[in-house]
Amino acid sequence: MAKILAINPGSTSTKVAVYEDERAVFVESVEHDQAALAPYPTIYDQYEMRSALIRELAAKHGFKPEDFDAVVGRGGLLPKAQAGAYLVTEPLLDTLAHRAQSEHISNIGAALAHSIASPLGRPAYIYDPVTVDELEPIARITGLKEMERRGQGHNLNMRAAAVKKAKDAGLDYNKVTYIVVHMGGGISLSIHHQGRIVDMISDDEGPFSPERAGGLPGFQLMALATNGEYDYKKMFNKVSRQGGLMSHFGTTDARAVLKMMDDGDERAALVLEAMCHNVAKNVAKLSVVTRGKIDGIIITGGLAHSQIFMDWITERVSFLAPVTVIPGENEMESLALGALRVLRGEEKAREYQPPQA
């Protein structure tokens, strides 16, 4: 029986889980308020604090580092990443520490896994990092030669949902075509064709969500960004943290807006349905990639718990393919089962080679 420690550092939390094969022994999340994080100027300054916390949580549940056959961390913003597992190596650690695509707390996931596994000679992995990018060349082209589309989204949960759906249906993930929608604080979509994520719609170009503004009318966006009120950081925060439901209602809690709708607020009902309407339009957008040949549509993420959201989307897209709902983030399970497939020889872990300058 394989014992796997899974680690998921979030901006305000540290999630830790232990799995014995497919069974979760425990999953625990510790929240970090702003006061607790204030002493750490950079993400990597949090490394020692989070590493110690992970060991404490494991010990609380009766586990020592030497109990684990492997440790897996959330993958960071690794340039030019492919789907699947990566063995944590010095080149990978160096890239995430010094040359990640941008600063993000997930960048320390590999280092945290390595800190526990390496002293004992156990393997450390990351799995399906945020920046999995398997887009086909035609999907990268935009109308400005200075800009290129790239793969970046909720890849860990989306790919895990597609693999689970294929397995449950008795199909080979490498021989099916699924469109997967992740609906959380941000919403992203991807199309999985014969084992690869050949195109996707990231949360800065697709539907708006509880936090993200999503794709916006370009001319209006340019006017707003150049009116003298915003610099890059302020504009980034506006579209990525203050957009969507936050912009309309002052909250990122979709449940609160659903209650407003249930209490008769017509504006809340209109905006929520518009969010789902935008999800459906983007599903249809991806369907052309494989000329409409789709084996299924999968909706996952925290918002997939809402039946009315699922009804609004399903009635708009079910003509394309059957819809399956797999609610929840499922990140810890996705990490652990990815590492388990490597330990069982069902997948082979890659060794990261940094892109040539």
Residue pLDDT, tens place only, 166-185: 999 999 999 999 999 999 98
What confidence tens digit (pLDDT) does each residue in 224-281 have?
A: 999 999 999 999 999 998 999 999 999 999 999 999 999 999 999 999 999 999 999 9
The residue ranges of every structural domain in the chain are 3-131+332-351, 137-321
**30 CB-side CA count, 13 A:** 18
Q: What is the pLDDT of residues 186-199, one digit of tens each?
A: 999 999 999 999 99
User: How many residues would you count in the chain?
Assistant: 357
Fold match flag (3-131+332-351 vs 137-321) = yes
Closest to 296 measured CA to CA, from 132, 141, 177, 163:
177
Average pLDDT over residues 205-215: 96
Greatest Cα pair distance, the chain, in angstroms, is: 61
Q: What is the pLDDT of residues 117-166, one digit of tens each?
A: 999 999 999 999 988 999 999 999 999 999 999 888 888 899 999 999 99
192-221 burial by CB neighbour count: b if 16+ within 10 A, else e?
A: bbebebbbbbbbbebbbbbbbbbbeeeeee
CATH 3.40.640.10 fits 137-321, yes or no: no
- pTM equals 0.87
Question: What's the pLDDT at 10?
Answer: 82
- Superfamily (CATH) of domain 3-131+332-351: ATPase, nucleotide binding domain (3.30.420.40)
Q: Which residues contact 127 (CB under 8 A, 6 or more apart)?
A: 72, 75, 84, 85, 86, 156, 334, 335, 338, 339
Find all residues with CB under 8 Å of 253, minimum gap 6, and list them.
210, 245
Residue 88 corresponds to which tokens in the numbers above? 């944590």
- Using one digit for the tens of pLDDT, what is the confidence trace for 15-55? 999 999 999 999 998 888 777 888 888 878 888 999 999 99
pLDDT at 357: 59
CA dihedral 191, 196, 202, 208 (to 10 degrees): 30
| pLDDT at 221 exceeding the cut of 80 | yes
Q: How confident is the model at residue 91 (pLDDT cuts 50, 70, 90)?
A: very high
3-class SS letters over 171-227: CCHHHCEEEEEEECCCEEEEEEECCEEEEEECCCCCCCCCCCCCCCCHHHHHHHHCC
Q: Which of 104-113, 278-287, 331-340 has the highest mean pLDDT?
A: 278-287
Strand partners, 299: 181, 325
Q: What Å distances lie between residue 242 and 152, 265, 273, CA to CA?
A: 20, 21, 19
